[in-house]
Amino acid sequence: MKLIPITFAGTLVAFAFTVQAEDMPGMKMDDMQGMQMQAATQQAPAANAEGTIKAIDAAKYTVTVTIAHGAVPALQWPPMTMGFAATQEQLAGLAVGDRVKFSFRMEGSKAMLVSISK
């Protein structure tokens, strides 16, 4: 008969501990979501890179410049060839084969050219 209340009390303590343990990660999740929302409203910083222009595709409204670029330490990117959204003005005087220095900003999964020069 004595064992029953002790076991019951032990269960209550364990239950209380479980509830507390679940509350703490829950609070951290909220903090992280808050931080992500804050990060999403702030503009991503521009990253710098160097590379060689491989192609310039001018569609009606958007221009894509394909650049074989070196590593981008700021984003932990390896060297690769990829497209950047650009404007005709940004690419004025530039051509395929040009060695360029440029900066860009990620907007979602799209890389937007911020500046570019030979």
User: Is residue 112 close enough to count as binding Cu ion by CB under 5 A?
Assistant: no
Which segment (8-16, 19-27, 36-44, 79-87) binds Cu ion by CB under 5 A?
79-87
Please say which residue, 50 or 98, places its beta carbon nearer to Cu ion. Answer: 50
Least distance from Cu ion to the Cβ atom of residue 15, Å: 51
In this chain, which of 46, 47, 56, 82 binds Cu ion, going by CB under 5 A?
82
DSSP string, 8-39: HHHHHHHHHHHHHHHHHHHHHHHHHHHHHHHH
Question: For residues 67 and 54, is the Cβ–Cβ distance under 8 A?
Answer: yes
